[in-house]
Amino acid sequence: MDDLLSRLLEGDRRAVARLITLVENGDPAAKDPIRRLHEHTGRAHIVGITGPPGSGKSTLVNSLTKELRARGKSVGIIAIDPTSPFTGGAVLGDRVRMQDLATDPEVFIRSMGTRGSLGGVSVATNDAVNILDAFGKDMVIIETVGAGQVEVDIVKLAHTSVVVSMPGGGDEIQALKAGIMEIGDIFVVNKADREDAGRTFAEITMMLDMSQRGEDRVPPVIRTVATTGQGVDELADAILEHHLYLQEKGLLEKKARERILAELQEIINRRVERTVERALHEDPEMVELVRKLVETREIDPHSGASQVISHLLKKSEV
Amino acid sequence: MDDLLSRLLEGDRRAVARLITLVENGDPAAKDPIRRLHEHTGRAHIVGITGPPGSGKSTLVNSLTKELRARGKSVGIIAIDPTSPFTGGAVLGDRVRMQDLATDPEVFIRSMGTRGSLGGVSVATNDAVNILDAFGKDMVIIETVGAGQVEVDIVKLAHTSVVVSMPGGGDEIQALKAGIMEIGDIFVVNKADREDAGRTFAEITMMLDMSQRGEDRVPPVIRTVATTGQGVDELADAILEHHLYLQEKGLLEKKARERILAELQEIINRRVERTVERALHEDPEMVELVRKLVETREIDPHSGASQVISHLLKKSEV
């Protein structure tokens, strides 16, 4: 495994792919290289791009990556896909659209599924971002469907969060947008050639005006047509400017700190979860507690939680 | 607070509303009544209804509730809403549509926001479901936007999960549907009066045929038009039949058990999270660990997690 990390640091793409696969499968062989990788991270500009289904995120990431490459930046992309339980893999065709980028040695694209549990996805995604960071990519883009809390959690840990909207959409879609508005550093109205794009642009601008974000910076709202590339240069400008802004204000360290602490918390949660689950199935005292919780209902879940915690503390088993 | 639980058990709606508010705000005053409430739970049939934005879930829940009322069932509804960070409250107008139900004393409707952290939402939602169960509602319906993992987690803990789709939708929407297909006990194609409804119906039927669900029961796919009530009687039949099926197969106890264990795990996670967060900010040894993690990067998050856990165990502080 020593070899895997050295190969990665020397620029071997297959080592990168292999390590991400190990991480995604929760393979213990990933443990050592991932631990030793940490000191090589912290250089990449991490960009999260999120938006509702159908907003054209993948096409936008595609165009944006071409623009960033034209400016000399190397780019890593982690695309989080909803996963089909039937195929066990990503069912989206969007990835295919990125194939023209796949031949560029300065671009590394990886899809990751969202199967498995909550904490698991976040931990694996963070590890994958760190891998591409250590691999030396100038920018790492995380692309997600911005509907769920997990996706929001992943994206808000980026240095720069881009929230993509599209014209139209019902009340509920508007509400979903609202839910992710507070995390956006840059807003994009994609499919801006549609006739109702002006209204969406005005709505977002208004919501931003109404919000008290406690920042001296007003997030830009950018109109793009990802399929033609229109507005994508402006988006690239905004992303790079935001990085400069973070540097000048000393906010880059703050973001890096928050990112690492969130990672730490996720790893701890996952480990506690596994320990508790094992205890509830295997430890006789805990099996009896479960019986009282479920069958006789003489213990409630909140009191049960206290008992599980003190039991595990006594055994020092977490 | 003794009074609050007694009033609730005697049928006082205001006590129910008050206790859910306490739970939602994480108020310590909720602790005692929630603990003592557990022994009064376990009687309600818990139904999760999920689907993508715009599929007409709220209108369907409305029609379904009327149908269930006509069959003599009392109904509690917990509607999980995406929350606007600007208003601090639910921004959906859908709830308004349910106002004609709000005057029925045998119906209790409550919206809950998704603000706050992951575990928090699940714990509060479970508490609210338990409150309506103890309050004596025959059926408790949890309605969520089925896009995120949290929503899926909440709904899969129901006895009966209903997945609502609508005709059309792009690739990505199809994929999202796929992601929640494995949790559905009943599938609904709403807006079935649209011309492309037949195709969606066929697609879902095909996906179900392809899946190996390891059950002797094939989930029904039901066509509804929630706005006119068409197909809603058939949906009510399917939901009640599924409950009978669970009883006959002895699966109701299994589901109840899984539900309570998931609740327990969530409560433990939340508590560990809070303890760790406090330690990282206040405990000198942990503050130093954070410095090594973030500044010098001589400790990586995975090793850091081990150190935090053994430190807290030593201090028996979780």
A14-18, A19-23, A163-167, B277-281: which range is least confident on average? A163-167
Give the nearest partner residue to A268 out of B172, B173, B272, using CB atoms.
B272
Tell me, yes or no, whether A122 lies in a domain. yes
**Mean pLDDT, residues B283-291:** 94
Is pLDDT of A93 > 90? no
Same domain, B46 and B36: no
Q: Do A300 and B36 touch (CB under 8 A)?
A: yes
| Parent domain of B293 | 266-315
Same domain, A1 and A56: no
Tell me, yes or no, whether B195 lies in a domain. yes
Checking phi first, is residue A112 left (phi over 0); if not, alpha (psi -120 to 50) or beta?
Answer: beta
Kindly list the strands in the beta sheet with B139-145, ordered across the sheet, starting from the edge strand earlier in the chain.
Answer: B107-113, B75-81, B139-145, B45-51, B160-165, B186-189, B221-223
Tell me, yes or no, whether A300 lies in a domain. yes
Q: Do B265 and A257 touch (CB under 8 A)?
A: no
Query: Which residues of chain B from 117 to 156 reach within 8 Å of chain A, CB to CB?
Result: 118, 121, 126, 145, 147-151, 153
Give the nearest partner residue to A84 out of B175, B309, B316, using CB atoms.
B175
Sign of the CA dihedral A3, A5, A6, A12? positive
**Angle (nearest 5°) at CA B253 between B250 and B254:** 90
- Judge contact between A79 and A111, C-beta under 8 A: yes
* B209 at interface of A, judged by CB pairs closer than 8 A: no
Residues of B in contact with A287 (CB under 8 A): none
pLDDT tens for each residue of B123-174: 888 899 999 999 999 999 999 875 555 566 777 679 999 988 888 755 445 5
Instruction: Tell me the CA distances in angstroms from A264 to A89, A121, A257, B155, B199, one per residue in order.
Output: 28, 14, 11, 28, 46
CB pairs under 8 A between A and B: 243
Tell me, yes or no, whether B256 lies in a domain. no
Same domain, B203 and B124: yes
Same domain, A13 and A127: no
Residue A112 parent element (H or E): strand A107-113
Tell me, yes or no, whether B258 lies in a domain. no
Angle, to 10 degrees, between the axis of helix A251-282 and the axis of helix A232-248?
A: 90
**Mean pLDDT, residues B44-60:** 87
A245 pLDDT tier (thresholds 50, 70, 90): very high
Is pLDDT of A151 > 90? no
Tell me, yes or no, whether A111 lies in a domain. yes
B94 pLDDT tier (thresholds 50, 70, 90): very low
Checking phi first, is residue B88 left (phi over 0); if not, alpha (psi -120 to 50) or beta?
Answer: left
- Judge contact between B167 and B224, C-beta under 8 A: no
Round to the nearest angstrom and report the end-to-end CA distance of chain A: 27
pLDDT tens for each residue of B171-215: 445 545 555 667 789 999 999 999 888 888 888 887 777 766 666
Same domain, A45 and A150: yes
CA A232 to chain centre: 21
- Domain end, chosen from B249, B275, B299, is at B249
Q: Do A145 and B176 touch (CB under 8 A)?
A: yes
A119 pLDDT tier (thresholds 50, 70, 90): very low
> Any idea what the CATH number is for the domain that residue B190 is in?
3.40.50.300
Give the nearest partner residue to A173 out of B41, B54, B299, using CB atoms.
B54
Q: Do A145 and B172 touch (CB under 8 A)?
A: yes
Same domain, B27 and B88: no
Q: How close A59 gets to chain B, by Cα (Å)?
A: 13
Q: How close B232 gets to chain A, by Cα (Å)?
A: 22
Same domain, A177 and A293: no
Neighbours of B271 (CB within 10 A): 19
Neighbours of A137 (CB within 10 A): 24
Q: How many domains does chain A have?
A: 3
Same domain, A228 and A286: no
A313 pLDDT tier (thresholds 50, 70, 90): confident
Q: Do B271 and A211 touch (CB under 8 A)?
A: no
A-interface mutation test, from B40, B84, B129, most A Cβ less than 10 A away: B84
Q: How close B284 gets to chain A, by Cα (Å)?
A: 16
Same domain, B106 and B51: yes
* A214 at interface of B, judged by CB pairs closer than 8 A: no
Which ranges of A10-70 does DSSP label H, i.e. alpha helix? Answer: 13-24, 31-37, 57-70
B84 pLDDT tier (thresholds 50, 70, 90): very low
Q: How close A213 gets to chain B, by Cα (Å)?
A: 10
Q: Do A309 and B114 touch (CB under 8 A)?
A: no
Round to the nearest angstrom and report the end-to-end CA distance of chain B: 27
Q: Do B302 and A31 touch (CB under 8 A)?
A: yes
Same domain, B23 and B46: no
A42 pLDDT tier (thresholds 50, 70, 90): very high
Same domain, B310 and B222: no
Per-residue burial over B136-159, b if 16 or more Cβ lie within 10 Å, else e, is ebbbbbbbbbbbbbbbbbbbbbbb
Its pTM surpasses 0.80: no
Same domain, A29 and A59: no
Residues of B in contact with A153 (CB under 8 A): 118
* B262 at interface of A, judged by CB pairs closer than 8 A: no
**Angle (nearest 5°) at CA A144 between A154 and A201:** 105
Residues of B in contact with A253 (CB under 8 A): 294
Give the nearest partner residue to A53 out of B36, B94, B176, using CB atoms.
B176
A126-135, A141-150, B195-204: which range is least confident on average? A141-150
Tell me, yes or no, whether B261 lies in a domain. no
Is pLDDT of B26 > 90? no
Tell me, yes or no, whether A301 lies in a domain. yes
Query: Which residues of chain B from 264 to 293 reach within 8 Å of chain A, CB to CB?
Result: 264-265, 267-269, 271-273, 276-277, 280, 290, 293
Is pLDDT of B31 > 70? yes
